[in-house]
Amino acid sequence: MLDLALLGTGGSMPMPERFLSSLLIKYKGRKILIDCGEGTQVSMRLLKWGFKSLDLILISHCHGDHILGLPGLLTTIGNAGRKEPMVIMGPQGISNIMKGLLTAIPYLPYDVHIAEVSELSIMVNFNDNGVELKELDEGNKSHGDLIISTLELDHSSPCIGYSLYVPRRPKFNPQKAISNGVPKKLWKSLQEGKPVTYEGKTFEPSMVLEGKRKGIKLSFITDTRPIATIPDFIRGSQLFICEGTYGDEKDIERAIENKHMLFSEAARLAYEGEVEELLLTHFSPVMDKPEKYAENALRIFPNTTIGYDRLIRRLNYP
Ligand SMILES: [Zn+2]
Ligand SMILES: [Zn+2]
């Protein structure tokens, strides 16, 4: 299972009750953050999930409302005693921006590695040294801790959407292991997906495992217009977190001009992508009460929730 919390649900500028874009994900005791607008570390402190175990920060794009919380948060993580390196991933331009932001905090007690990405799928494993990122191994997809995929979006600055997939291992079948003549002492390694050579013979995980099991999929799309590639990218997500900068249908021209979405456009993507739940975020500061416009999304996609700061969700294997 995976836990997540919306740390901030605003766009443009922070408001007293609404910090800027940020999502915290907790899995196996480790943490991933997506976006880090102003107010992120304050919201994180209110949440009380801790700072030290944050291994990976994914940035959608380099607009201030998604990154200006970084210098303060990175400092606080250092003060919390982190020594392990941290990885920050983002679109084209993130390396230069980070170089600038890091000059404001020259004495971090851990290394920060920056990865500039466009469209990719990578396997993520957590270990004692933080996080390890590898090229996705198609043959052994079910044995990483997480798979992260990215999609190029349509915004006024290079911007990427993220999907996270938590694979679920196939079921162990002792009957199959016995009939394949697998010695009992090898069962555990094979169950963990590692082939073993024993007494000159190689044993494969497929000799003890059977069937495919569906994992947990979560996607995060902000800031963008609703482009045609999004439904396939988010397809089958248990939770689709999406920007809904404007609730009022009258704001369509503003949405087109600023490269954002209406609630109704996000809801259509959720419908086309056959997700289970839509969670709206990144509300314009002119929208005092986003829930006032909920109906504009609900009539298209009934399982829609209007996000708010520190909304918490637990996602379990289906
Ligand atoms: Zn934004
Ligand atoms: Zn933006």
Q: Which of 3, 35, 55, 65 is catalytic?
A: 65
CA of 258 to the centre of ligand 2 (A): 8
- Token pair listed for 59: 């940035």
Evaluate whether 262 touches 247 at the Cβ level (below 8 Å). Answer: yes
pLDDT of residue 270: 98
* 65 part of the active site: yes
Task: For residue 161, list its beta bridge partners.
Answer: 151
CA of 195 to the centre of ligand 2 (A): 46
Q: Which ligand is located closest to the Cα atom of residue 160?
A: 2
pLDDT of residue 144: 81
Q: How far is residue 75's CA from residue 65's CA, in Å, rounded to a whole number?
A: 19
CA of 157 to the centre of ligand 2 (A): 7
**DSSP reduced 3-state for 140:** helix
* Cis amide linkage into residue 309, ω under 30° from 0: no
CA of 44 to the centre of ligand 1 (A): 19
pLDDT of residue 129: 83
Q: Tell me whether residue 315 is exposed, middle or buried, using C-beta atoms within 10 angstroms of its C-beta: 0 to 12, 13 to 18, 19 or more.
A: buried
CA of 8 to the centre of ligand 2 (A): 14
pLDDT of residue 10: 97
Alpha helix (H) ranges present in 80-191?
94-103, 174-179, 187-191
AA letter at 270? A
Alpha helix (H) ranges present in 48-195?
64-67, 70-79, 94-103, 174-179, 187-191
- Token pair listed for 121: 């799928």
Evaluate whether 198 touches 183 at the Cβ level (below 8 Å). Answer: yes
Q: Which domains does the chain have, with CATH numbers?
A: 2-170+212-315 (3.60.15.10), 171-211 (no CATH)
- Identify the sign of the CA torsion 252, 270, 278, 305: positive
Q: Which ligand is located closest to the Cα atom of residue 259?
A: 2
Q: Tell me whether residue 53 is exposed, middle or buried, using C-beta atoms within 10 angstroms of its C-beta: 0 to 12, 13 to 18, 19 or more.
A: middle
Burial code of 250-267, b = ≥16 C-beta within 10 A, e = fewer? ebeeebeebbbbbbbbbb
pLDDT of residue 140: 65
pLDDT of residue 142: 65
Question: Residues for the chain: how many in total?
Answer: 318
CA of 53 to the centre of ligand 1 (A): 26
**DSSP reduced 3-state for 272:** helix
Q: What is the pLDDT along the chain (318 residues), one digit of tens a residue?
A: 999 999 999 999 999 999 999 999 999 999 999 999 999 999 999 999 999 999 999 999 999 999 999 999 999 999 999 999 999 999 999 999 999 999 999 999 999 999 999 888 999 988 888 888 888 876 666 678 899 999 999 999 999 999 999 998 888 999 999 999 999 999 988 887 778 999 999 999 889 998 888 999 999 999 999 999 999 999 999 999 999 999 999 999 999 999 999 999 999 999 999 999 999 999 999 999 999 999 999 999 999 999 999 999 999 999
The helix (H) or strand (E) run that includes residue 295 is helix 295-298
CA dist 178 → 19, 34, 173, 206, 211 (Å): 56, 45, 9, 13, 17
Q: How far is residue 27's CA from residue 279's CA, in Å, rounded to a whole number?
A: 20
Evaluate whether 170 touches 147 at the Cβ level (below 8 Å). Answer: no
CA of 222 to the centre of ligand 2 (A): 8
Q: How far is residue 290's CA from residue 282's CA, in Å, rounded to a whole number?
A: 10
Q: Which residues surround ligand 2, an ion (CB under 5 A)?
A: 63, 223
DSSP label at residue 170 = P
Q: Which ligand is located closest to the Cα atom of residue 284?
A: 1
Q: How far is residue 282's CA from residue 9's CA, in Å, rounded to a whole number?
A: 5
CA of 259 to the centre of ligand 2 (A): 8
